[in-house]
């Protein structure tokens, strides 16, 4: 019995250390479903997250899922970032989803492709607190078809090797 308890304790310790070694640098991730894969121009997606470390650089990614029936090779977005002090920054951002020959980028399964596209790299959030990112499709069509999901991912940036 004692030998089994030691073996179980050793396996548990190895599992805990393994999980600690595999921890992600991810600070925030949220993906929102686009109802029926039709993104209305007035459907503004909002993502709220908290930043506590203002010295740590971060990467912000746009996560997009589209079907192979999507009619374009790119996707334009209006992105507004609101900081805890109430300041707002508005960007127009282009996501390239396919090459010039129509081959989809990203990871695909079935007729759905997913892209994790860098939006901002090595940025420092100036204040601790709750931030908001609002995303609106900017493709000059009222109902943009075949975009199924839209998300935001924020990761701690690994320090560049010097």
pLDDT tens for the 162 residues of the chain, in order: 555 555 545 445 454 444 444 557 999 999 999 999 999 999 999 999 999 999 999 999 999 999 999 999 999 999 999 999 999 999 999 999 999 999 999 999 899 999 999 999 999 999 999 999 999 999 999 999 999 999 999 999 986 644
Indicate whether 71 belongs to any domain: yes
CATH classification of the domain holding 62: 2.60.120
> Could you tell me whether strands 129-137 and 45-51 are parallel, antiparallel, or unpaired per DSSP bridges?
antiparallel
d(CA 85, CA 130): 9
Q: How many domains does the chain have?
A: 1
20 within domain boundaries: no
Q: Are 138 and 39 in contact (CB under 8 A)?
A: no
In a domain, 48, yes or no: yes
Q: CB under 8 Å to 117, separation ≥6 — which residues?
A: 61, 62, 63, 64, 95, 96
pLDDT (0 to 100) of residue 162: 45
Domain residues for the domain of 118 are 25-156
DSSP 8-state secondary structure symbol assigned to residue 105: P
Predicted local confidence at residue 24, as pLDDT: 76
Beta bridge partners of 96: 74
Q: What is the CA radius of gyration of the chain?
A: 20
In a domain, 7, yes or no: no
- For residue 38, give every residue at least 6 positions away whose Cβ sits within 8 Å of its Cβ, in sequence order, or none: 143, 144, 145
CB 93 within 8 A of CB 32: no
Q: Is residue 141 part of a domain?
A: yes
Judge whether 37 lies within some domain: yes
Of 9, 123, 117, whose CA–CA distance to 61 is shortest? 117
With respect to residue 18, please indicate whether it lies within any of the assigned structural domains: no
Residue 137 lies in a domain: yes
Query: Reading across the β-sheet that carries 45-51, which strands appear in turn?
Result: 45-51, 129-137, 74-82, 88-96
């Amino acid at each position: 019995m004692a030998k089994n308890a030691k073996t179980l304790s050793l396996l548990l310790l190895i599992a805990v250390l393994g999980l600690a070694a595999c921890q992600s640098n991810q600070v925030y991730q949220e993906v929102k479903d686009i109802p029926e894969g039709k993104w209305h121009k007035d459907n503004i997606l909002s993502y709220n997250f908290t930043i506590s470390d203002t010295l740590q650089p971060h990467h912000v990614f746009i996560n997009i899922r589209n079907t192979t029936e999507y009619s374009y090779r790119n996707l334009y977005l209006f992105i507004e970032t609101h900081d805890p002090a109430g300041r707002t920054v508005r960007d127009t951002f282009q996501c390239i989803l396919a090459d010039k020959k129509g081959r989809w980028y990203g990871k695909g399964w079935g007729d759905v492709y997913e892209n994790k596209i860098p939006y901002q790299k090595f940025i420092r959030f100036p204040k601790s607190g709750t931030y908001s990112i609002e995303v609106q499709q900017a493709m000059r069509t009222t109902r943009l078809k075949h975009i199924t999901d839209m998300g935001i991912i924020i990761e701690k940036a690994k320090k560049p090797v010097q």
